[in-house]
Amino acid sequence: MDIKLYKFLNNANNKTPKNVLVIGVIHGDEPVGEFLIEEYLKNKERTIKNNLYYIPRLNFSNKRKNKCNVDINRNFSTKNWELTKKDDDYFGGLEPNSEIETKFLVNLTNEIKFDVIITIHTPYKIINYDGINNPITIPLAKKISEFLDYPTEADIGYPTPGSMGTYYGVERNIPIITIECDENAEPKELYKKFKNLFEYIEKEF
Ligand SMILES: [Zn+2]
């Protein structure tokens, strides 16, 4: 399966649009992000003041790791990347940036300077964020927290070597917000909240 990237450029004569990337399904067993993004993109008539890039599904396997048995969110070439056992749930590959999904994102983010990256996961019911030295990060995390009714949490509680949060947020100071949805939430109910969030980042943020 090819990774799909949908691009919507500012159509409101905004002279200083922000570049925002929204990514679903980094872990294959957390599928709700694809539904939320695809549902939103059905709405074709939108006024957009920022430049929005949506990847509904990054990982086409149906388990946490990708089809090559690598956790994409441990495969980024961070300073703290580490080699673990292959059967580990968080195995980050034999070397960093080995996976097509990781390379796809790294190429994209080398080509376009993103002001914000938002990723959609389950199941922790928190808004996690990295890139705290960027003034956008914490206010945006709080705003997202209001839309979704999950608390913000700067530290997810366990080390994440090779993660996107470390690669983009900690090491490159790009605000990256990791939304951890309730895995038991009814997707259509969750979408009502995400619709408001997506509209906000397209128009008001
Ligand atoms: Zn996840």
Rounded to the nearest angstrom, the distance between the alpha carbon of 45 and the centre of ligand 1 is 31
130 three-state secondary structure: strand
Rounded to the nearest angstrom, the distance between the alpha carbon of 108 and the centre of ligand 1 is 21
CA distances, 3 to each of 56, 59, 198 (Å): 8, 8, 21
Predicted confidence (pLDDT) per residue in 89-119, tens digit: 999 999 999 999 999 999 999 999 999 999 9
Instruction: Check residue 48 and give its pLDDT.
Output: 95
CA distances, 47 to each of 95, 168, 202 (Å): 42, 28, 8
Predicted confidence (pLDDT) per residue in 123-157, tens digit: 999 999 999 999 999 999 999 999 999 999 987 77
Mean pLDDT along residues 182-202: 97
Rounded to the nearest angstrom, the distance between the alpha carbon of 8 and the centre of ligand 1 is 26
Rounded to the nearest angstrom, the distance between the alpha carbon of 6 and the centre of ligand 1 is 21
Give phi and psi for 184, each to the nearest 5. Answer: -95, 0
Rounded to the nearest angstrom, the distance between the alpha carbon of 26 and the centre of ligand 1 is 6
- Of the two residues 44 and 69, the one the predictor is more confident about is 69
Rounded to the nearest angstrom, the distance between the alpha carbon of 113 and the centre of ligand 1 is 24
Closest CA to 7 of 40, 55, 52: 52
Rounded to the nearest angstrom, the distance between the alpha carbon of 67 and the centre of ligand 1 is 15
Rounded to the nearest angstrom, the distance between the alpha carbon of 52 and the centre of ligand 1 is 22
* Pairing mode of beta strands 126-130, 176-180: antiparallel
Rounded to the nearest angstrom, the distance between the alpha carbon of 12 and the centre of ligand 1 is 34
Rounded to the nearest angstrom, the distance between the alpha carbon of 33 and the centre of ligand 1 is 10
Rounded to the nearest angstrom, the distance between the alpha carbon of 72 and the centre of ligand 1 is 10
Half-sphere exposure of 107 (CA within 13 A, CB side): 8
Mean pLDDT along residues 29-58: 96
Rounded to the nearest angstrom, the distance between the alpha carbon of 120 and the centre of ligand 1 is 8
Q: Tell me the domains of the chain and their CATH numbers.
A: 6-183 (3.40.630.10)
Rounded to the nearest angstrom, the distance between the alpha carbon of 71 and the centre of ligand 1 is 9
Distance CA 112, CA 191 (A): 28
- Ligand 1 ion: nearby residues, β-carbon < 5 Å: 27, 30, 121
Mean pLDDT along residues 162-178: 96
Total H helices, total E strands in the chain: 6, 7
Which residues make beta-bridge pairs with 177?
Answer: 118, 129
